[in-house]
């Protein structure tokens, strides 16, 4: 059935309210089941042996002594995960990351795994696995790795995207370039130019729930996987591809998920657990420790970015240029490319050029982290933009308004923008009371803008009208932060019934068609579109049932306020039929009533935000405190405003941690020195103030209710907003994230000495 996704202005009854979430009681009573909260009869405990070396050739692995330990039921190495990838390089990289094949490429890289009847036996067995390593020179720093004399991670890699194609190996896997116009000519017209280099350190998504799964391979080939994931359908496909399983026989159930932020869009331990279960013939539970989470999953790129921006004295930017080097871990991806695409996306530029370099280093494989790659690029660009505004003597907000992208602007990444822009968030910032709040001693105010692409994607939803008129909604996008409440609101709105009468659940892979992951801010955007479509299909069925009941043509039945109504004066004697009344008759009017929907929910539209931040810097210790913080972002239409605010606040808090504290610290030996929450310090409650939010609602023309994704953009501006605030507080430009106390002190002292 064709579905019209065009936005139509309407008065909402359910959408925009703040009802209680359907999974709330489970989660406040401890009854909600997360990845590690599931068990199976006869289940074994799995443990993974990880390389202590940053870079080493695996010469020999002897598992015989481990296999002999009482209680050990299976030991696997890469030999138990044969290469079935058929030349698919990205799939092979996933497999190699799950279990090192010829070389350990980072501290924490899995080399073997054990399944045993208990943890003690499993740990004892790990100690008895003998691995003979040939230790190789390593490199963990993004700039050092890009140099020609750096130790090479992968001899087969030649930098792609450069002409002529090089014939020597390099850690620079790819060069990408975006932009338009002539930047040299643009800089020649500039009255003022700011040119600086910036660095950001590697951070982790820091979800509180470690990766966990229970895998069960039966002798008949049927396989179950219980797992915390942002996308169980994607995990099913990837695991089936890696292990040679039939998709229909692998049933993946997504547990409640204890945070993901992009880190649970990639498989890590799941193929290992499946391989162990297959070998042992028993269910296997694999739960990562926090140390393993830090050493072997997740992190975002460390970056080194050069920015040059020129403007005329009147505040018009004439040219902008950025060179971005992003660490990828050991496998080539497109993280710098994303940085290069997003860096100047907020601005209307005649001449712009960005170049991204993907750099391989001996660190864990980089995973997506909330608007991946955009925060670092925004830090560099928005810092330079701020500095340029200061030099010209213009207000930071006014300078951005003057240069803001708007409808018709050619974006720095290529396409021309439709009717959306950074403008409304900047105007809102200008008018916000935050801008006139008084600042105390050692305090400074900063602001920054951010951009992210939002996605839609493949989506499938089932909506069942039960015999009592209540509705069960089965969706395939994992609920990471309240989307079951939002989607229930959407179903209630479209059907014209009460929110309390809708119950949304996340279906497993055997009971619903394929869904893309909850990533790219797509969960509520795409599943709400599919829910509206499913509800409309159910309404069609209910109209037909009403027509049957009344014995009138279906064309004469229309749907209004949750009722089938007979149109026209000749039917005045027919009182409208409610969902409940139609449902009660379903058994003898044609059977169960349901609406199904499968679609590509495209047209998400891009997203912009402006953040305001006040900080106080202690000049004695270099410690920074966030005094005031405001997030302004367009939601299109906030379906459940409390959870939209929550996304804004959560993204800001993660950005604050990134800006001030969080970083991977490696020793000379290439080993991660802070794989725990004590030394990798994410913001705690006493670090933060209340985080103010302003939701703008500029309808998305490509969604029936005007909804936009809201999950990711809020992490993009904080790094720069805080850096600008610190700079305004202490008069020293900070170019290295995180701005931890030692870095700020060093900058202050250097400034004094200089």
Tell me which residues in 320-379 interact with other proteins (CB under 8 A): 333-334, 337-338, 341, 368-372
The contact mask relative to other proteins for 50-89 (x = CB under 8 A, - = no) is ----------------------------------------
User: What's the closest the beta carbon of residue 374 comes to other proteins, in angstroms?
Assistant: 10
Distance CA 365, CA 351 (A): 34
Residues contacting other proteins: total by CB under 8 A:
101
User: What's the closest the beta carbon of residue 560 comes to other proteins, in angstroms?
Assistant: 30
Ranges within 518-577 binding other proteins (CB under 8 A): 519-522
Q: Pick the binder of other proteins from 4, 86, 155, 163 (CB under 8 A).
A: 163
Q: Pick the binder of other proteins from 208, 467, 510, 750 (CB under 8 A).
A: 208
- 3-state SS class at 616: strand
Distance CA 274, CA 284 (A): 8
Residues 140 and 54 sit within 8 Å (Cβ to Cβ): yes
Sign of the CA dihedral running 171, 177, 183, 184? positive
- 3-state SS class at 325: strand
Q: Pick the binder of other proteins from 130, 132, 134, 177 (CB under 8 A).
A: 177
**What separation in angstroms does the CA of 354 have from each of 88, 367, 636?**
29, 22, 29
Ranges within 291-310 binding other proteins (CB under 8 A): none
Q: Pick the binder of other proteins from 107, 508, 645, 663 (CB under 8 A).
A: 645
Q: Does 313 contact other proteins by CB under 8 A?
A: no
β pairing state of 607-617 and 443-452: antiparallel
Distance CA 213, CA 208 (A): 15
Q: Does 256 contact other proteins by CB under 8 A?
A: yes
User: In terms of CB distance, is 207 or 559 closer to other proteins?
Assistant: 207
Ranges within 580-609 binding other proteins (CB under 8 A): 600, 602-606
Task: List phi, psi (to 5°) of 192.
Answer: -130, 140
Region of residue 61 (left: phi > 0; alpha: psi -120 to 50; beta: else): beta
- Measuring CA to CA, which residue among 145, 453, 176, 194 is closest to residue 340? 176
- Measuring CA to CA, which residue among 659, 652, 628 is closest to residue 710? 652
Distance CA 711, CA 649 (A): 10
Ranges within 120-159 binding other proteins (CB under 8 A): none
- Cβ burial of 620 (10 Å; 0-12, 13-18, 19+) is exposed
Q: Does 677 contact other proteins by CB under 8 A?
A: yes
Name the segment binding other proteins (CB under 8 A); options: 100-108, 124-132, 174-182, 469-477: 174-182
If one counts every other C-beta atom within 10 angstroms of the C-beta of residue 393, the result is 10
Name the segment binding other proteins (CB under 8 A); options: 20-28, 552-560, 570-578, 721-729: 20-28
Task: Give 328-393 as a 3 state SS string.
Answer: ECECCCCHHHHHHHHCCCCECCCCEEEEEEEECCCCCCCCCCCCCCHHHHHHHHHHHHHHHHHHHC
Ranges within 440-479 binding other proteins (CB under 8 A): 453-458
User: What's the closest the beta carbon of residue 608 comes to other proteins, in angstroms?
Assistant: 13
Q: Does 650 contact other proteins by CB under 8 A?
A: yes
Q: Pick the binder of other proteins from 106, 133, 178, 399 (CB under 8 A).
A: 178
- Measuring CA to CA, which residue among 123, 127, 128 is closest to residue 46? 123
The contact mask relative to other proteins for 416-445 (x = CB under 8 A, - = no) is xxx-x-------------------------
Name the segment binding other proteins (CB under 8 A); options: 92-100, 213-221, 611-619, 636-644: 636-644
User: In terms of CB distance, is 538 or 691 closer to other proteins?
Assistant: 691
User: In terms of CB distance, is 79 or 437 closer to other proteins?
Assistant: 437
Name the segment binding other proteins (CB under 8 A); options: 77-85, 193-201, 439-447, 650-658: 650-658
């Amino acid at each position: 059935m064709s579905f019209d996704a065009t936005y139509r202005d309407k008065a909402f009854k359910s959408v925009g309210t703040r009802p209680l979430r359907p999974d709330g009681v489970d989660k406040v009573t401890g009854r909600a089941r997360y990845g590690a909260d599931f068990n199976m009869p006869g289940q074994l405990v799995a443990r993974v042996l990880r390389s202590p070396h940053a870079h080493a050739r695996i010469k020999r692995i002897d598992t015989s002594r481990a296999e002999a330990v009482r209680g050990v039921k299976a030991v696997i190495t890469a030999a138990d995960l044969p290469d079935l990838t058929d030349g698919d390089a990205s799939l092979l990289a996933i497999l190699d990351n799950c279990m090192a094949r010829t070389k350990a490429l980072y501290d924490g890289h899995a080399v073997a795994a054990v399944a045993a009847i208990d943890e003690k036996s499993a740990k004892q067995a790990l100690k008895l696995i003998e691995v003979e390593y040939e230790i190789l020179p390593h490199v963990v720093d993004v700039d050092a790795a890009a140099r020609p004399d750096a130790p090479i991670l992968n001899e087969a890699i030649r930098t792609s995207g450069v002409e002529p194609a090089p014939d020597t190996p390099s850690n620079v896997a790819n060069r990408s370039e975006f932009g338009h116009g002539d930047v040299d000519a643009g800089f020649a017209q500039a009255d003022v130019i700011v040119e600086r280099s910036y660095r950001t350190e590697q951070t982790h998504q820091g979800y509180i729930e470690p990766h966990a799964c229970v895998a069960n391979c039966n002798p008949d080939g049927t396989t179950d996987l219980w797992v915390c994931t942002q996308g169980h359908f994607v995990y099913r496909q990837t695991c089936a591809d890696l292990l040679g399983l039939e998709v229909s026989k692998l049933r993946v159930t997504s547990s409640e998920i204890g945070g993901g932020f992009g880190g649970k869009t990639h498989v890590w331990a799941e193929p290992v657990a499946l391989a162990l279960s297959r070998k042992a013939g028993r269910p296997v539970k694999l739960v990562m420790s926090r140390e393993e989470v830090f050493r072997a999953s997740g992190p975002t790129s460390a970056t080194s970015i050069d920015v040059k921006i020129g403007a005329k004295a009147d505040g018009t930017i004439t040219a902008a240029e950025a060179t971005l080097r992003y660490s990828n871990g050991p496998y080539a991806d497109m993280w710098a490319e994303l940085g290069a695409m997003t860096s100047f996306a907020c601005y209307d530029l005649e001449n712009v050029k960005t170049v991204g370099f993907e750099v391989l280093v001996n660190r864990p494989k980089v995973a997506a982290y909330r608007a991946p790659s955009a925060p670092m690029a925004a830090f560099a660009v928005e810092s330079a933009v701020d500095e340029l505004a200061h030099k010209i003597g213009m207000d930071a907000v006014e300078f951005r308004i003057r240069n803001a992208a708007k409808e018709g602007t050619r974006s720095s990444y290529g396409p021309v923008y439709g009717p959306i822009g950074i403008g409304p968030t900047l105007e809102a910032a200008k008018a916000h009371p935050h801008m006139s709040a008084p600042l105390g001693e050692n305090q400074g105010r900063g602001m920054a803008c951010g951009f992210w692409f939002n996605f839609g994607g493949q989506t499938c939803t089932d909506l069942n009208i039960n015999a009592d008129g209540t509705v069960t909604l089965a969706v395939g996008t994992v609920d990471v932060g309240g989307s079951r409440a939002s989607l229930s609101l959407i179903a209630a709105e479209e059907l014209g019934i009460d929110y309390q009468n809708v119950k949304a659940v996340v279906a497993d892979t055997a009971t619903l068609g394929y869904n893309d992951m909850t990533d790219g801010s797509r969960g509520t955007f795409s599943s709400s579109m599919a829910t509206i479509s499913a509800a409309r299909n159910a309404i069609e069925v209910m109209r037909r049932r009403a027509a049957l009941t009344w014995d009138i043509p279906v064309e004469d039945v229309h749907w209004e306020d949750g009722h089938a109504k007979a149109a026209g004066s000749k039917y005045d004697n027919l009182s409208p039929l409610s969902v409940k009344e139609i449902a009660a008759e379903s058994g003898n009017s044609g059977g169960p009533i349901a609406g199904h929907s499968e679609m590509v929910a495209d047209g998400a539209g891009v997203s912009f935000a402006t953040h305001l931040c006040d900080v106080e810097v202690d000049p004695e210790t270099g410690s920074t405190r966030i005094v005031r913080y405001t997030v302004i972002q367009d939601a299109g239409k906030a379906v459940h405003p409390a959870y939209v605010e929550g996304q804004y606040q959560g993204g800001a808090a993660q950005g604050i941690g990134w800006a001030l504290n969080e970083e991977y610290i490696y020793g000379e030996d290439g080993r991660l020195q802070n794989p725990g929450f004590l030394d990798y310090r994410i913001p705690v409650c006493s670090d933060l103030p209340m985080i103010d939010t302003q939701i703008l609602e500029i309808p998305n023309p490509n969604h029936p209710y005007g909804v936009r994704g809201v999950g990711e953009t809020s992490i993009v501006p904080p790094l720069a907003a805080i850096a600008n605030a610190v700079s305004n507080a202490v008069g020293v430009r900070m170019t290295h994230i995180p701005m931890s106390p030692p870095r700020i002190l060093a900058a202050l002292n250097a400034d004094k000495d200089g």
